[in-house]
Amino acid sequence: MKKVILITGASSGMGKETAKKLIQEGHIVYTVARRIDQMEDLKDMGGHPIKMDVTNEEDIQNVVDTIVKEQGKIDVLWNNAGFGLYGSIEDVPLDEARKQFEVNVFGMAAMTQKVVPIMRKAKAGTIINTSSMGGKMYFPMGAWYHASKHAVEGLSDCLRLELKQFNIHVVVLEPGFIATEFGSVLLDGFNKLPKDSAYRDLMDKIMEGTKKAAQGNGSSKPTVISDSISKIVNSNNPKTRYRVGKFAKPMVWMRTYLGDDLFDKIVMSQM
């Protein structure tokens, strides 16, 4: 069945690969991101790219109004926009931390607030929120990123219970290591931090590990995400969580069952 789908953060990586798959499946796919020039190929395929900033509520309202005017409904919202901010709590400026939450949490919430009334009126819909395996566990230097994804998890659980009465499904996507721009953004963030940071040795080790993961077999291809999103979109009763990609399931299992001390030792042994 053809569905009207809205995807944020679709200019690259998981969002773009999934948009291609959903367009090929015959769905009506609206993709939004700040870099609209990077979505021209989606337009050529039959998609509907629109420039939008998830931290700008006027942008969000204009996009939602456009879709409703053209299609009369929104069946699926995939809140996929987000980025990773890494660095010690001591070093990362609080203004940068606030930006992390503005995009990863409040941007997602703003999109949801605009779309839910449409789905509620239709008594149907699916909202997919991109969390991370990092929403269930943690690595050093990732406090603000992990905090934002832990927030996504909690917000999504509450939202699921609130919307159940309106036949709106809320699904949490928890990717592991995926071959996207995430690593390069993380490295750029490290380069902005003080060169004489007390945490420089730890940062260097994490940077080295990130580079190796990007170059070798340390990440899954974005297609594992597109396959999962396709299953969710085409399901009448999707699961509440989809944990996919390199290391996602074993890392969350270890965090859940090994306890703090042992998990800490395992993580730091890789540093």
> What pLDDT does residue 127 have?
98
Cα(247)–Cα(263) distance, integer angstroms: 14
> What pLDDT does residue 3 have?
98
Question: What 3-state DSSP class applies to 102?
Answer: helix
Structural tokens at position 23: 């367009």
Domain 4-269: CATH architecture, name and number where available? 3-Layer(aba) Sandwich (3.40)
**Which ranges of 133-271 would DSSP assign to H, the alpha helix?**
143-163, 182-191, 200-215, 223-233, 248-257, 260-269
Boundaries of every domain in the chain: 4-269
> What pLDDT does residue 92 have?
93
Catalytic machinery residues: 11, 131, 145, 149
pTM, rounded to two decimals? 0.93
Q: 72-91: b or e for each residue (b if 16 or more CB lie within 10 Å)? A: eebbbbbbbbbbbbbbbeeb
> What pLDDT does residue 180 have?
66
> What pLDDT does residue 178 have?
84
Cα(86)–Cα(148) distance, integer angstroms: 12
- For the stretch 163-166, contacts whose Cβ atoms lie closer than 8 Å and that sit 24 or more positions apart, written own/partner, are 163/116, 163/119, 163/120, 163/127, 166/119, 166/120, 166/123
Mean pLDDT of successive 10-residue stretches along the chain, which has 271 residues: 95 94 98 94 96 96 98 98 92 95 98 98 98 95 96 98 98 89 65 82 81 67 93 96 93 94 91 74
Cα(76)–Cα(70) distance, integer angstroms: 15
| CB-CB contact of 148 with 101 (8 Å) | yes
CA 220 → CA 72, 92, 107, 244, distances in Å?
36, 29, 26, 9
Cα(185)–Cα(99) distance, integer angstroms: 14
Cα(72)–Cα(77) distance, integer angstroms: 14
Cα(67)–Cα(54) distance, integer angstroms: 16
Amino acid found at 130 = T
